Amino acid sequence: MLRRRSSSSSAKSSTKRRSSSAGFDEFGFAFIKRREKKLHHRSHDYSFPQPNALKVKELCELLSYWNGSSFICRNQIERFIRIGIPTAVRGRVWKCLLDLDNVRVASDFSYQVCLTEIRKGLVDLGVSEYSIISAITTLIDKENDLGSGAGQTPDAHSSAFSTVDVALFRQIALDLQRSFPTHRSLMGDSPEAIEGQAKLFRVLTAYAKFNPQIGYCQGMSYIAAVFLMLLGEEEAFWALVVLLEKPKYLSELFDSSLKKIQHQALVFQQLLKHRKPQLFQHLEKLGVSSFHFVMQWFLTLFTSLPCWDSVLAIWDLFLLHGLLAVFRAGLTILHLLEPRLMSMTEETTVLPLLLRVPVDVSQYSVLIPALWSTEVQEWEINCMNSVILEEMTESHETEKTKEDSSSSVSSDEQKEKSPAVENPAEDRPCKKEPVGPGGKNLFARILKLAQRYLADSAKQNTSNKAQPASPARSSPVVACQSKKRTSVSFTQAQRRRSQSRRPQNEAVVRKEPLPPQCTDGGTAENRSQVPLRRLKSGPVGRVARRRSGVQSGRGKSLLLRSSNQSQKASIPTSPVSQDPNQACTEPRESPGKSSIHPPLEEGSVFSPRTGTEVRESQLI
Amino acid sequence: MEAIWLYQFRLIVIGDSTVGKSCLIRRFTEGRFAQVSDPTVGVDFFSRLVEIEPGKRIKLQIWDTAGQERFRSITRAYYRNSVGGLLLFDITNRRSFQNVHEWLEEARSHVQPHSIVFLLVGHKCDLDAQRQVSQQEAEKLAAAYGMRYVETSARDAINVERAFTELTRDIFELVKRGDITIQEGWEGVKSGFVPNVVHSSEEVTKSDRRCLC
């Protein structure tokens, strides 16, 4: 099964594949002797399709008049990504998607100047990126000297390097030979590999200098190495910068606290709970937290998957859609593994499967079609995100109340203190009374969040315009809000649901013109304008109704959620006064209905049907 | 019916970057050595059965952790639910040895209210020519902290079995004496006699195979 070639189109390309240089496959990974195959499982019989010459020509044409802010261009490119980007053109596609040329021109940072600085430091230390092994030894010795020597500060002052630099160089050097150790550009000590490792070293150190607050974090070497496989050295550097700085991609994920990745893992957990309730419950029963495997997906962007053609296809989608694609790919993998996972009864068997996804699931012909049929919407992620933030605030407030019940602290103040909320800019612009320290009607909450999300985007814009947020502080939510819908956004399931229950939903969506959005690769300014336009295109209430209508299909898992929460005890079960909170965010068209609706009791079990009905009734 | 394993112990493997944590675990669980292994991002997970006495099998859940300092905020969450730990340093890298104190402090402050039985491991002992930490020195340090000390090599498969088995035995003794008890909501030690546990046949054969080598 592993050796299966999926389609005739891949057979067509097999001659080409064999002709690639002896010892390495077409992606540059070494063929490993059968006996050792399991050890370095990089090279496989790939199953990705080869688009025909006409399509390739069309794609090249598209790239020649590429405009990253054009909705049409981005829509077109998605079509090509779906067909499969030919390996030879991928570098160009990525450059376009990341808008590298413009980023480079707009920045006043010079890669070459930075390298000169770095090289000065290296010379002072007596090491070179071209002899990594001896560099590691020297750096470690130097670090020992600096660490043990009493006069470390004068020493650091007098030379062009500091202890921080030594530690940085050392850590990067240590990872060079371990990142894709079977790729021709990094493997062994051939001239090509020595050059490849030197490039990787330079790109990573230059990034660490570009953003000293982030510096170097394990995981980055994989990302930079992927770029170096497809782009020139300086392009790879800028690609890394875009990826690690833009909120759409991985900004803040690698920062020294690693809080955001933990937050993203929670969001993923919520998504799983929501989309795959049975699997979620099963994993929870076995004590498997999605945190264990999700972190790797986010920090190394699926480069640990054994089939490289699939990795690149996920990256194509990731570079187009950003973080959303990570959620999507993660969910797809879980979906494909679900039958196996459901039959497992121990954490010991579940975790290795998830941490080392097998070939039969990760091969292109299986994973990528499944990826395209798995939809994850931004608003879903935004809602999950808000649920997490709210839970954190609530639990934080509870702690607070315990500590000091007499003083009444405003929720905003507390939010800022909460370490997990990394983003005060995202704090609800719709200022509200403190959230009561109790479990709340979950439906009302989700509904409210969906509505708040819409309200937020309007307010966010105004605030953004008045005072543009620094990129480091803008949240993924903010970035996502403005993100366009590049395809017809209902999943099959959602469509079925909306057709059967609320036929008018679809009509509403269709009638609404999709705003000519352009934001993904764009700057913060044009990003901020988009939601405004969207709001102009239809009254908030209507959009809210449409969105909540879609959400109603999720009633089941949300109900499960409410019943789970009482067990987790993360939310206390004391009675709540919740109505006043909601008043300000209630939609116009449902005058207070959901707030009038009695709160669902925590811990009580509802049938999914009832749940849906309740929600339907709230919405009409 | 007799359980396949008596107890399940959860172990954590810590130490500086590139001291060889992943290689040691892979040698122990998969029986082979990779010249180069990818840096661990976050945590990784492995498991294996060990037979400490004929017929007495212990299942080990082994958490591999990232060595880079930045990941400590993540890896420290794994101390609490571990009953044992292998603290690795590289005998050819003095700094990794000096950091042993720091690792112990780190573990100690995050394992409360439980405690971890540690084993100090001097890794890469096949590279004796480049040794920067003498055996006596390491033994002294280990004794000061009440730990055992073992020198291992994943490359040459020296003492790998011994390191894990000795640690497992030590924990087993403590469990038998009642110094360590199974607690609800704590993953460190679990009993194999759980009614609803179904054991896969694969694990049985695996353990048999391991025992031969």
For A177, nearest residue in chain B (alpha carbons): B36
Which residue intervals of A149-190 are DSSP H helices? 152-158, 163-176
**Beta strand spans in A96-187 (E):** none
Which residues of chain B make contact with A143, given a CB cutoff of 8 A? 95
- A604 part of contact set with chain B, CB < 8 Å: no
The string of pLDDT tens digits covering residues B147-160 is 999 999 999 999 99
Which residues of chain A make contact with B31, given a CB cutoff of 8 A? none
Element (H, E) at B52: strand B43-53
How far is A532 from A458, CA to CA, in rounded Å?
6
Q: Are A528 and A506 in contact (CB under 8 A)?
A: no
The alpha-carbon gap from B70 to the nearest alpha carbon of chain A, in Å, equals 6
The residues facing B56 across adjacent strands are: B53
Element (H, E) at B45: strand B43-53
Which residues of chain A make contact with B94, given a CB cutoff of 8 A? 144
- With a cut of 90, say whether residue A428 has pLDDT above it: no
- B106 part of contact set with chain A, CB < 8 Å: no
Q: Burial, B131: exposed, middle or buried (Cβ in 10 Å; 0-12, 13-18, 19+)?
A: middle
Q: Of B32, B35, B39, which is closest to A175 when you measure between CB atoms?
A: B39
More confident residue, A274 or A509: A274
**What's the whole-number average pLDDT of chain A?**
71
Which residues of chain B make contact with A183, given a CB cutoff of 8 A? none
The string of pLDDT tens digits covering residues A17-41 is 443 445 888 899 988 765 554 445 6
The alpha-carbon gap from A363 to the nearest alpha carbon of chain B, in Å, equals 21
pLDDT at A163: 84
The string of pLDDT tens digits covering residues B89-111 is 999 999 999 999 999 999 999 99
Which residue intervals of A177-253 are DSSP H helices? 191-210, 220-230, 233-245
The string of pLDDT tens digits covering residues A342-367 is 999 988 999 999 999 999 999 999 99
Q: Are A253 and A299 in contact (CB under 8 A)?
A: yes
Q: Are A408 and A466 in contact (CB under 8 A)?
A: no
For A40, nearest residue in chain B (alpha carbons): B34
Q: Of A258, A300, A345, which is closest to B71 when you measure between CB atoms?
A: A258
The residues facing B58 across adjacent strands are: B7, B50
Q: Which of residues 384-443 of A touch B (CB under 8 A)?
A: none
Q: Are A547 and A450 in contact (CB under 8 A)?
A: yes
Q: Provide, rounded to the nearest whole percent, the portion of chain A with pLDDT above 70.
A: 57
Is B197 contained in some domain? no
More confident residue, A28 or B205: A28
Contact between B74 and A352 using a beta-carbon 8 Å cutoff: no
How far is A430 from A584, CA to CA, in rounded Å?
8
How far is A328 from A277, CA to CA, in rounded Å?
16
0.90 surpassed by complex ipTM: no
pLDDT at B106: 93
SS3 A472: coil
Is B164 contained in some domain? yes
pLDDT at A581: 41
- B18 part of contact set with chain A, CB < 8 Å: yes
Fold of A259-382: Cyclin A; domain 1 (1.10.472)
Q: Are A265 and A324 in contact (CB under 8 A)?
A: no
CATH top-level class of A107-147+162-245: mainly alpha
For B48, nearest residue in chain A (alpha carbons): A348
Dihedral angle, C-alpha A292, A564, A611, A577, nearest 10 °: -120
Contact between B41 and A219 using a beta-carbon 8 Å cutoff: yes
Q: Of B37, B70, B95, which is closest to A140 when you measure between CB atoms?
A: B95
Q: Are B87 and B104 in contact (CB under 8 A)?
A: yes
Contact between B68 and A218 using a beta-carbon 8 Å cutoff: yes
Q: Of A140, A147, A148, which is closest to B93 when you measure between CB atoms?
A: A140
Q: Burial, B207: exposed, middle or buried (Cβ in 10 Å; 0-12, 13-18, 19+)?
A: middle
SS3 A33: coil
- Pairing assessment for the beta strands B189-191 and B7-15 based on DSSP bridges: antiparallel
- The domains of chain A are located at 53-105, 107-147+162-245, 259-382
Q: Of A177, A261, A355, which is closest to B36 when you measure between CB atoms?
A: A177
Q: Are B70 and B18 in contact (CB under 8 A)?
A: no
Residue A151: Cβ within 10 Å count? 8
Element (H, E) at B51: strand B43-53
pLDDT at B3: 63
Average the pLDDT over B78-86 and give the result.
95
The string of pLDDT tens digits covering residues B58-73 is 999 999 999 999 999 8
How far is A115 from B115, CA to CA, in rounded Å?
47
Which residues of chain B make contact with A147, given a CB cutoff of 8 A? 95, 98
- With a cut of 80, say whether residue A7 has pLDDT above it: no
pTM (global) more than 0.90:
no
Q: Of A148, A258, A349, which is closest to B70 when you measure between CB atoms?
A: A258
**Interhelix angle A608-619/A442-466, nearest 10 degrees:** 50
How far is B80 from B76, CA to CA, in rounded Å?
8
- B34 part of contact set with chain A, CB < 8 Å: yes
Element (H, E) at B120: strand B117-123
For A216, nearest residue in chain B (alpha carbons): B70
Q: How confident is the model at residue B171 (pLDDT cuts 50, 70, 90)?
A: very high
Q: How many residues does chain A have?
A: 620
Tally of domains within chain B: 1
How far is A363 from A356, CA to CA, in rounded Å?
13
| Sign (positive or negative) of CA dihedral A503, A607, A560, A411 | positive
CATH code of the domain in which B61 resides: 3.40.50.300
- A258 part of contact set with chain B, CB < 8 Å: yes
Burial A480-509 (b: 16+ CB within 10 A, else e): bbbbbebeebbbeebbebbeeebeebbebb
Distances (CA, A) of A265 to A59, A374, A394, A480, A608: 35, 19, 19, 17, 26
Catalogue the long-range contacts made by A269-273 (C-beta closer than 8 Å, 24 or more residues apart).
A269/A294, A270/A384, A270/A387, A270/A388, A271/A327, A271/A331, A271/A376, A271/A380, A271/A381, A271/A384, A272/A331, A272/A334, A273/A557, A273/A560, A273/A561, A273/A564
Instruction: State which residues form the domain around B79.
Output: 7-191
Is B199 contained in some domain? no
How far is A614 from A552, CA to CA, in rounded Å?
9
